[in-house]
Every structure is written in C-alpha cells, then in structure tokens.
C-alpha cells in the first residue's frame, strides 16, 4: 500500500511553492518550467525595443499603459482560463459569457434596474454557468471541449434571444466607472478597469502559490488519478476552476461594458481564443500542471503590443494580428513540447 501511494506522488507536480517544486529547484526540471516564461519575457522586450526604434512616440509611458487599458477585460478572462488550463481542461464559453453579460446588463440597466443589483447578478450568472459546466465535466466524464462548447452555444444563444441589437448604457454608475481615471501625471493614466484587473491577478496569484486549492490545481493538471490517490479533493477543485473561469468571464464582461458602454450579443466574438492564446504564449502547458500567472500577464501584453505596433504602422490590416498570434502559438506549442519532452519520457518508466 505504501508503494502504491508513493509512485503517484513522484509523477504529480504540485506547482510553484509546493514542497515538491522546492526539492526540484536544485535540478533541471524547475529551470525547464521557467523556459517558456523567459521566452515570453524576451519576446515582449524585443517587440517593445523594435517599436521604440521604428516608431516615434512609442516610448511614451502612456503607450504601455494603454495596452492595459485596452486589454483589462481580456486579462481578467485569461486569469480564469489559466486556472482551467492548469488542470488540463479548456473553456470555450468565456467569449459568449462576456456577450451574455454585456447584453443582459445593458438590458436590465435600460429597464431601470439599479446597478447595485445588476452587477452582482451578472457575476452570479457567470459563476453559476461555470460551476454547472464543471459539474457536468467531472460527474458525467464529458470532455471539457464538448461541455464548454455547449456552454458557448447556450450563452451566445441567450444573448441573441435577449436582444440582437447594440444597447447603449447610460446608467450613472456605469458611466462614472467607465470615465474614471487614476492619473499619475498629465496625460499619464489608467482606468478603473485596469485596477480591478490587477487586483484579480494578485488574488489569483496568491491563491495558486500559497493555498492548498492552488496546489490541488497543479496536482490535477499533473496527474488527476495520482491526485485522487493522494486524497486531494479532485471533484471539488475541478468544478471550482470552471466556476472561477465563469466568474472571471462575467467580470470581464462587466469590464468590457465599462470599456464600450454598450451591450451587444456579438461582443466577445473570438475572445475565448485570445484568452487561450495569451495563456499558452505565457508559458502555461496545454496539458496542465505547469505554468505561472505572471506568464499569462505577459501573454496578454504580447497580444496587446502586437495590436499597438500594427496601429503605429498604420498600413497593415488588423488581420495581421491573427497571423502573428498564430505564428507565435505554433512557436510556443513547439517550445512546450521541447521543454517537456524529456519529462514525458521519464514519466513512462
């Protein structure tokens, strides 16, 4: 019995901050885990350097801050996606949840509902949908791709059923939050949405690094069967990460409605792919069990910087963003395979 429990523990990665990773820090495995994040950081620095050299005004600090302002909602959605992918899952519903959140919020606000009721209601809606998908995935053993695809169709369909047209938001609270700025100097500012997004990142990072729940997330991604043999709450954790993803998607929808001051059933179209791309480019393994939230932040910055460079260039189509992101995804997927190749072999012994 002792031997049966010992072997799975060797195969499970409990993530950064865990006793396992502390022991491994003297070897090459932890260094290998850092390679994708370092590659993303290097890429980000290289892209920014090229922008500064080639475009006048690119070095303005507000250019960097605008990347956060324009992508605060994506950062929040990507945080939730990070939890899901760390467990080896995927969530295709987040873009549709953003659309449903903005559409329903705009409709209710237009009908005279108070913002103090609409805001928590939207967060509860996204969280409930996420928890439901997580329960279906775990208890009915449905592939996450299929379950969340159904969730995507459901959320997008509900948004279209509520209203097919763009709905402007003129609620006083919404407008105030949307227009509020934290100013550091003349012409240097960030929006309230950026502050909210950074708070979400800090809380999520603390959860992954310093809590038992975070260690369970990494363990399930490393080897769910071994995690179960170790007595970890696999069912509760797996359902919870989809609830977190749903919460982050609905919060991202709220931030998107602050950004556009509108609700529209086609908002967030393709956002799930942007979130997945940011997480993967940030160095989180698609197979789960390895990655850092800091890498996800870098991934979002890379996507935002690509769009910023194209805007400064001015002569290239916005579709070049997709082309460049596609190339980067291929590169980072190959890099992940190279980095984890030896571990995959040794894990079969």
Looking at residue 322, its pLDDT comes to 83
- Say if CB 208 and CB 217 are below 8 A apart: yes
- Whether 60 has a pLDDT exceeding 50, the answer reads yes
In a 3-state reduction of DSSP, which class is residue 79?
A: helix
pLDDT digits (tens, 9 = 90+) for 277-295: 999 999 898 888 888 999 9
Burial class (CB in 10 A: 0-12, 13-18, 19+), 55: middle
CA distances from 51 to 66, 72, 86, 298, 308 (A): 15, 22, 32, 17, 9
pLDDT digits (tens, 9 = 90+) for 213-253: 999 999 999 888 888 888 889 999 999 999 999 999 999 99
- Say if CB 94 and CB 276 are below 8 A apart: no
- Whether 19 has a pLDDT exceeding 60, the answer reads no
Dihedral of CA 185/189/194/195: which sign? positive
In a 3-state reduction of DSSP, which class is residue 185?
A: strand
Its pTM surpasses 0.85: yes
CA distances from 131 to 13, 78, 123, 147, 255 (A): 25, 17, 12, 12, 21
Looking at residue 331, its pLDDT comes to 87
- The percentage of residues in the chain with a pLDDT greater than 70, rounded to a whole number, is 88
Looking at residue 97, its pLDDT comes to 97
Q: Which band of pLDDT confidence, cut at 50, 70 and 90, is reported for residue 30? A: very low
Q: Which of 76, 108, 221 is nearest to 173 (CA)?
A: 108
Backbone torsions φ then ψ of 182, nearest 5 degrees? -100, 110
Looking at residue 341, its pLDDT comes to 66
- Whether 13 has a pLDDT exceeding 60, the answer reads no
pLDDT digits (tens, 9 = 90+) for 143-176: 999 999 999 999 999 999 999 999 999 999 999 9
CA–CA distance, 35 with 21 (Å, rounded to integer): 15
Dihedral of CA 167/170/174/175: which sign? positive
Contacts for 146 with CB less than 8 Å, ≥ 6 apart? none
CA–CA distance, 349 with 341 (Å, rounded to integer): 14
- Say if CB 47 and CB 307 are below 8 A apart: no
CA–CA distance, 90 with 221 (Å, rounded to integer): 12
**Which range, 20-29, 33-42, 169-178, is most confident?**
169-178
Contacts for 85 with CB less than 8 Å, ≥ 6 apart? 221, 276, 279, 280, 284, 285, 286, 288, 291
């Amino acid at each position: 019995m002792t031997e049966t429990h010992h072997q799975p523990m060797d195969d499970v990665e409990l993530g950064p901050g865990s006793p396992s990773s502390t022991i491994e820090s003297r070897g090459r495995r932890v260094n290998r885990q850092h390679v994708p994040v370092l590659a993303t950081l290097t890429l980000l620095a290289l892209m920014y350097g090229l922008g500064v050299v080639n475009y006048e005004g690119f070095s303005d600090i507000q250019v960097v801050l605008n990347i956060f302002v324009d992508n605060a909602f994506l950062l929040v959605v990507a945080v939730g996606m990070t939890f899901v992918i760390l467990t080896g899952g995927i969530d295709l519903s987040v873009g549709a949840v953003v659309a449903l959140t903005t559409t329903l919020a705009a409709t209710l606000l237009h009908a005279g509902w108070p913002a103090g009721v609409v805001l928590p209601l939207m967060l509860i809606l996204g969280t409930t949908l996420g928890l439901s998908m997580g329960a279906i995935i775990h208890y009915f053993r449905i592939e996450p791709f299929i379950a969340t695809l159904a969730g995507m169709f459901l959320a997008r369909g509900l948004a279209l059923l509520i209203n097919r047209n763009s709905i402007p938001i003129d609620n006083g609270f919404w407008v105030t939050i949307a227009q509020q700025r934290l100013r550091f100097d003349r012409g240097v500012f960030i929006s309230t949405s950026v502050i909210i997004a950074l708070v979400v990142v800090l809380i999520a990072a603390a959860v992954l690094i310093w809590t038992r729940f975070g260690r369970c997330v990494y363990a399930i991604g490393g080897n769910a069967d071994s995690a179960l043999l170790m007595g970890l709450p696999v069912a509760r954790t797996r359902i919870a990460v989809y609830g977190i993803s749903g919460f982050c998607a609905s919060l991202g929808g709220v931030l998107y409605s602050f950004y556009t001051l509108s609700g529209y059933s086609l908002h967030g179209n393709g956002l799930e792919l942007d979130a997945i791309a940011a997480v993967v480019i940030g160095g989180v393994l698609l197979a789960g069990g390895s990655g850092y939230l800091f890498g996800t932040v870098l991934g979002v910055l890379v996507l935002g910087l690509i769009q910023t460079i194209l805007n400064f260039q001015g002569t290239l189509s916005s579709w070049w963003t997709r082309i460049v992101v596609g190339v980067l995804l291929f590169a980072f997927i190959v890099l992940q395979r190279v980095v984890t190749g030896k571990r995959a072999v040794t894990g079969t012994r």
